[in-house]
Amino acid sequence: MPFQFQWNKDKTVMIYKATEDWNWKDYHLVVRSSLFWLQKHEGLVDVLIDLTGSTREKLPSGAKAHIRSFTKKQNKNLSGRVIVLGVSSDEETSLGVDEQRQITTNDGVIRFAATLDEAVEQFRSWRAEERQ
């Protein structure tokens, strides 16, 4: 499968990882499959979409519309907070990413990170804000 999903170690982040050439149908299929894992889960879940393993050089066509679906709360446990890895700065610009490297939607926020460490730090920051 061109996309896979898995939990992080403490089950606070659902990870969707591209492993080869993929399209939007592949992405949406894996998201629907992962919703079964979320049904019995307790607590909020953030999302990491890791495109670094993709063999694609660019996002598939229709990216501007599909990207907004990343924050859709298809399960009560989804936080609406998403981090995307593996998108070039040129593509970020074409998607309308702001100076904070994010897109705000009606359902949440999509942030773009350059490294996994940067993504992990953002997830920590969001969790710390929750506790305050």
In the DSSP assignment, the letter for residue 97 is -
Number of domains in the chain: 1
Determine the Cα–Cα distance for residues 129 and 62; give it in Å rounded to an integer: 33
Determine the Cα–Cα distance for residues 124 and 118; give it in Å rounded to an integer. 10
Between 50 and 55, the more confident residue is: 50
pTM: 0.94
Residue 22: CB partners within 8 Å, gap ≥ 6?
2, 3, 54, 56, 60
pLDDT level of residue 39 (50, 70, 90 thresholds): confident
CATH number at residue 87: 3.30.750.24
Print the domain residue range for 125.
3-131
Whether residue 83 contacts residue 123, with contact meaning beta carbons closer than 8 Å, is answered with: yes
Whether the predicted pLDDT of 40 surpasses 80: yes
- Please write the tens of the pLDDT for every residue from 2-16: 999 999 999 999 999
